[in-house]
Each structure stands twice: as structure tokens, then as C-alpha cells.
């Protein structure tokens, strides 16, 4: 026979995740890693299906997620990649470390699509909707909207669609604007520092401040705490490596955050 079902769906919770649920999931994964999504909710004490846990982790709780709005450079790159790959969001997202396919998809559907239509470019084909109109109108309309260079030329270069294009390593940088905006809007540096200490990088920006105060699971304690569900010794090593990478990732992000705080403060 085939595999066992993912979940029995009976009594499973749906809808928005609560702080407690997030806490349980993050705590469990930091301690045990990800082996089988189907078993995670049961072992973590969650009334959710594995699929829902996976989605929540990937799109929201992963420590290496980048927060903040997408920069113009990122937006430009999304447009270029979309011209090459179409709606293959996971493929596009792979060029943006710390960004999720869902985030990029949402950004495309809510903003970029609109922006392209405004300047008469079909977001599906990446070609001018009305060729004649665009031969009459000057390119500076497009320039004003900061579109990628290949839209500023008269003809669209078909070679952009070629799959065999060199896979450029993304010149990725944290959105300075986001940090600048935070600081210019009476951003509370003390609170920020405090929340960094409680691993807020893993956490949802929708968390209330009070709730954030109560989150005490640090990455250090996660490494040292007993991991009841890990058995073989060789798995301990790989788990330790995984934990180390998560931890170093969180530390790197923290350093990056502090760098920009100092720079713009």
C-alpha cells in the first residue's frame, strides 16, 4: 500500500496562527530540525496539519527571512526574472535569499503588475500593450517609474527569455530605506535591541510588543537544550550543523541590522 495520510483533518485548527502556535513550532524546529512535516504538528503539540506548519515556517518563521519592503533594485530584478521564467515564483525567489516565493508573488500581483500596466506594458508578455502608442510617447514616462533598463529601450530583447542565461548571483542588499523609515518614524532603538535579544528576527512583525516580551527561547538555549526526539549519534552531528547554521544566520542578520541602525541613527 501507499504512504500514511498526511493528517486526518479532524479537529485541526485553521486560520491565522497565534503567538503560542508560532512559539511551539519555532521551538520544536530549533530543537529537532525538520524531518517529516506530517509528524511535526503532533510532536510539537499543534492542532495543525503538516502542510500548514511547513507554510508558516517557510513564509514567516524561518530565521533567515528578510523583513521590510522590497527595494527598487529587487523589484527590477523580479521583473527581469519574470520575463525569463514566467510565474515560476519559487525559481524567481531562489535569486533572493531571505525572500519567499509567496512574498514575491504577492508583490508582483499587487504592485509590479499595476506598475507595468500603468506604463502600457503587458505583465504577461513583457511587451508594450499598444505598440503605436509607445512609439509616439517619449520613454521618459517609463524612466520616471524606475523600470529596468530593458524597458527603456524601444524593443524588448527576446534573449532575456532564454533559460540558458547565466544565473547571476543576486547582488542582494538589505533595504536601507526600510531601516531609514523605521528610524525616521520615532523608532524605539531600546525596544529594538531588547527584541533582538529575544530572537525577534524569527518573529512576525505583527507580534504585539507585550507578546514579544514573553518570548524567551533564545537560540543558545535551543542548542543546549535536550532534544528528546533525536536518536542516532550521526544525526546529532547533522542536527548540530543545522542548528549552528540557523544560529549563525540569526547572528549575521542581527549584525546587519545593527550596522544599519548605527549608520542611520
Chain contacts with DNA (rule: CB under 7 A): 1-7, 14-17, 36-38, 50-52, 54-56, 59-60, 87-91, 101-103, 105-107, 109-111, 114, 206
Compute the distance between CA of residue 241 and CA of residue 234 in angstroms, rounded to an integer. 11
Question: What phi and psi, each to the nearest 5 degrees, are found at residue 209?
Answer: -65, -40
In whole angstroms, how close is the CB of 37 to DNA at the nearest point? 4
In whole angstroms, how close is the CB of 136 to DNA at the nearest point? 27
Q: Find out whether 46 and 21 touch, Cβ atoms under 8 Å.
A: yes
Residues 6+ positions from 98 with CB-CB distance below 8 Å = 64, 65, 66, 172
Compute the distance between CA of residue 54 and CA of residue 37 in angstroms, rounded to an integer. 7
In whole angstroms, how close is the CB of 83 to DNA at the nearest point? 15
Would you call 128 helix, strand, or coil by DSSP?
strand
Nearer to DNA, 39 or 176 (CB): 39
Nearer to DNA, 193 or 242 (CB): 242
User: DSSP states of 16-41 as a string?
Assistant: SPPHHHHHHHHHHHHHH--S-TTTHH
Nearer to DNA, 101 or 139 (CB): 101
Q: Find out whether 123 and 117 touch, Cβ atoms under 8 Å.
A: yes
In whole angstroms, how close is the CB of 230 to DNA at the nearest point? 17
Would you call 121 helix, strand, or coil by DSSP?
strand
Nearer to DNA, 111 or 150 (CB): 111
Nearer to DNA, 94 or 193 (CB): 94
Q: Cα angle at 78 between 132 and 133, to 5 degrees?
A: 10
Q: Cα angle at 35 between 33 and 250, to 5 degrees?
A: 25
In whole angstroms, how close is the CB of 132 to DNA at the nearest point? 27
Nearer to DNA, 14 or 262 (CB): 14
Can you read off the three cell numbers belonging to residue 18?
497565534
Nearer to DNA, 2 or 232 (CB): 2
In whole angstroms, how close is the CB of 109 to DNA at the nearest point? 6
In whole angstroms, how close is the CB of 51 to DNA at the nearest point? 6
Amino acid at each position: 500500500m501507499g504512504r500514511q495520510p498526511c493528517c486526518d483533518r479532524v479537529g485541526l485548527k485553521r486560520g491565522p496562527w497565534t503567538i503560542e502556535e508560532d512559539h511551539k513550532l519555532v521551538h520544536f524546529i530549533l530543537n529537532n530540525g525538520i524531518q517529516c512535516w506530517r509528524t511535526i504538528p503532533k510532536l510539537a503539540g499543534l492542532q495543525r496539519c503538516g502542510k500548514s506548519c511547513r507554510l508558516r515556517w517557510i513564509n514567516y518563521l524561518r530565521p533567515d527571512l528578510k523583513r521590510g519592503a522590497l527595494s527598487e533594485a529587487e523589484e527590477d530584478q523580479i521583473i527581469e526574472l519574470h520575463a525569463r521564467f514566467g510565474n515560476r515564483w519559487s525559481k524567481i525567489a531562489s535569486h533572493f535569499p531571505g525572500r519567499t516565493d509567496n512574498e514575491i508573488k504577492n508583490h508582483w500581483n499587487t504592485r509590479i503588475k499595476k506598475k507595468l500596466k500603468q506604463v502600457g506594458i503587458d505583465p504577461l508578455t513583457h511587451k508594450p500593450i499598444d505598440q503605436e502608442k509607445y512609439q509616439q510617447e517619449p520613454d521618459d514616462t517609463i524612466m520616471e517609474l524606475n523600470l529596468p533598463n530593458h524597458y527603456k529601450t524601444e524593443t524588448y530583447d527576446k534573449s532575456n527569455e532564454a533559460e540558458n542565461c547565466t544565473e547571476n548571483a543576486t547582488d542582494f542588499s538589505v533595504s536601507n530605506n526600510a531601516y531609514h523609515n523605521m528610524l525616521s518614524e520615532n523608532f524605539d532603538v531600546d525596544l529594538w535591541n531588547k527584541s533582538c535579544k529575544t530572537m525577534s528576527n524569527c518573529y512576525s512583525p505583527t507580534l504585539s510588543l507585550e507578546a514579544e516580551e514573553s518570548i524567551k527561547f533564545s537560540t543558545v538555549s535551543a542548542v543546549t537544550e535536550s532534544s528528546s526526539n533525536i536518536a542516532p549519534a550521526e544525526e546529532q552531528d547533522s542536527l548540530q550543523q543545522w542548528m549552528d547554521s540557523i544560529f549563525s544566520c540569526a547572528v549575521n542578520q542581527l549584525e546587519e541590522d545593527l550596522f544599519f541602525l548605527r549608520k542611520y541613527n
